[in-house]
Amino acid sequence: MHGRPSLVRVGSGPVETALGSLPWFRAPALAALVNSLARMATTPVSDELFARTRTVVPGGVNSPVRAFGSVGGTPRFFAHASGAHAWDEDGNELIDLVGSWGPLPLGHAHPAVVAAARAAIERGSTFGAPTRGEADLAERIVDAVASIEQVRLVSSGTEAAMSAVRLARGATGRSKIVKFDGHYHGHSDGLLAAAGSGVATLGIPGSPGVTAGATADTIVLPWNDPAALDAAVDEHGDDLAAIICEPIPANMNLVPAAPGFLGHLRDAATRSGGLLVFDEVISGFRVGRGGAQHCYDVAADLTVLGKAIGGGFPLAAFGGRADVMSELAPVGPVYQAGTLSGNPVAVAAGIAQLDLLDDEAFARLRTVTAEVLAALAEPLVGAGVDVVARRVQTLAGLLFTTVAPMDRAGVAAADHDRHRTWFHAMLDQGVYLAPSGWEVIFTCTALTDADVLTIRRASEAAAEQIANGASFG
């Protein structure tokens, strides 16, 4: 006899997991009866714009995960947004749980960020010369992240991660780097091996155009496997420039580090004489001002930042130990540069956002993230659908599977067809989730209690459809 499955919470510390189970009698019987969802929103304008854009832009998008490739259907073309809500070109209102993939912990168009950017652009959009704002932003980053003594501003997370790896190699005089299967560090050649969500969404292991030579010095290891790490350090330790990871991996859904694993990475890097590089492009200024390294109390040698530090503008950074950072040109020999680096508009927006991200804001973000995850997961669990819902501080992930995965292979084994059905059922009810089961849920402080209730109602309807065997496509 199967009752309503209960929500089981396991784990402690920053990680919380909820599991639900699927009664045996559900899906097979009803799946045959219902095989499509009644989609409510109409999107003729998005359809037309997608058709137009596809003729002049490959796939109709300027970054692949936007294309709805793994869920099917037409991507919504966004017209405007405010707080936690966005409106598409057809006038459909959406509760936005993607939030431009991370840069907006305060939500869209926060008045203070808008005012700062507007004031900055009126003073001139770029100078290619140093500005006061660069000092102001760099000081804020150095104050917030304990392991960062110096920082260099760049324009994208890709550029920041690529530069950090170059610096690690230049500073150590070594060649090899360890990265982890399913972790994404942008699309520079050497890091585009086994690289998580975007690549996984497309179902290709790396990318044509990346030569074997470009990744020859990249050692890819499974996440949460201390023995594999120790073996790699034993074999390559003398030539190991860096171990790079997302300390809170959020590009293969959300797969937290097992207890002690980040400390193990720290020890392995120190033992080998290489540098520990934390890619906090997502976690930086999202899980707290000190980033994941503060939450887990593990110091990196170099840290990569992006997304939240730019307030929604193209801005990223890498920073760390002063002795390592001083290897960078013009002080040292490691070259790195950028016409728009430290762009004054992006810097002003970033400062405005960071100044609002105080303890109270992060407490609110943590609370609302827990509420949103519960609103999404509990109706599914209540309807008897297998889900694993996990949260690390202010980052959340939900996967249709029975066992909480601890590496990329576990995420691959989840039911991504069911995610597709869930995604469309939620979208039809005005809740915009990432269009792939490989992604996480991005919340913002602008989400209200009413939004959380709307999300819960939408999830109840979606859960019912899934439990009744609905499938998209």
Ligand X SMILES: Cc1ncc(COP(=O)(O)O)c(C=O)c1O
Is 307 one of the annotated active-site residues of the chain?
A: yes
Position among 60, 274, 306, 319 found at the interface with ligand X (CB under 6 A): 306
- 3-state DSSP assignment of residue 231: helix
How big is the site for ligand X, counted in residues (CB under 6 A)? Answer: 15
Catalytic residue among 88, 301, 307, 386: 307
CB < 8 Å & 24+ apart, contacts of 37-43: 37/421, 37/424, 37/425, 37/428, 37/465, 37/470, 37/472, 38/428, 39/424, 39/428, 40/428, 40/429, 41/90, 41/92, 41/427, 41/428, 41/430, 42/90, 42/92, 43/74, 43/76, 43/88, 43/90, 43/92
Task: Give the DSSP letter string of 367-385.
Answer: HHHHHHHHHHHHHHHHTT-
- Please, which residue, 164 or 447, has the CB nearer to ligand X? 164
- Please, which residue, 62 or 125, has the CB nearer to ligand X? 62
Is 184 one of the annotated active-site residues of the chain?
A: yes
Residues numbered 314-343 forming contacts with ligand X, rule: CB under 6 A? 316
- Please, which residue, 185 or 390, has the CB nearer to ligand X? 185
- Distance between CA atoms of residues 377 and 145, nearest Å: 33
- Please, which residue, 279 or 415, has the CB nearer to ligand X? 279
For residue 252, give the nearest of 194, 187, 305, 186 by alpha carbon: 194
Q: Cβ contacts of residue 354 below 8 Å, gap of 6+?
A: 137, 140, 144, 285, 289, 308, 309, 311
Residues numbered 219-258 forming contacts with ligand X, rule: CB under 6 A? 246, 251
- Please, which residue, 83 or 312, has the CB nearer to ligand X? 312
From first CA to last CA, the distance across the chain in angstroms is 33
- Distance between CA atoms of residues 170 and 155, nearest Å: 21
Catalytic residue among 88, 96, 181, 184: 184
Residues numbered 58-97 forming contacts with ligand X, rule: CB under 6 A? none
Torsion angle, alpha carbons of 124, 130, 131, 133, to 10: 120
| 185 near ligand X (CB under 6 A) | yes
Catalytic residue among 88, 96, 181, 279: 279
- Give the binding range for ligand X (CB under 6 A) out of 144-152, 278-286, 335-343, 458-466: 278-286
Residues numbered 153-182 forming contacts with ligand X, rule: CB under 6 A? 156-158, 161
- Please, which residue, 164 or 380, has the CB nearer to ligand X? 164
Position among 75, 186, 284, 320 found at the interface with ligand X (CB under 6 A): 186
Q: How far is the CB of 411 from ligand X (least distance, A)?
A: 15
Q: How far is the CB of 97 from ligand X (least distance, A)?
A: 16
- Give the binding range for ligand X (CB under 6 A) out of 150-158, 325-333, 408-416, 445-453: 150-158
For residue 198, give the nearest of 369, 469, 434, 378 by alpha carbon: 434
List residues binding ligand X (CB under 6 A).
101, 156-158, 161, 184-186, 246, 251, 279, 281-282, 306, 316
Q: Which residues are catalytic?
A: 184, 279, 307
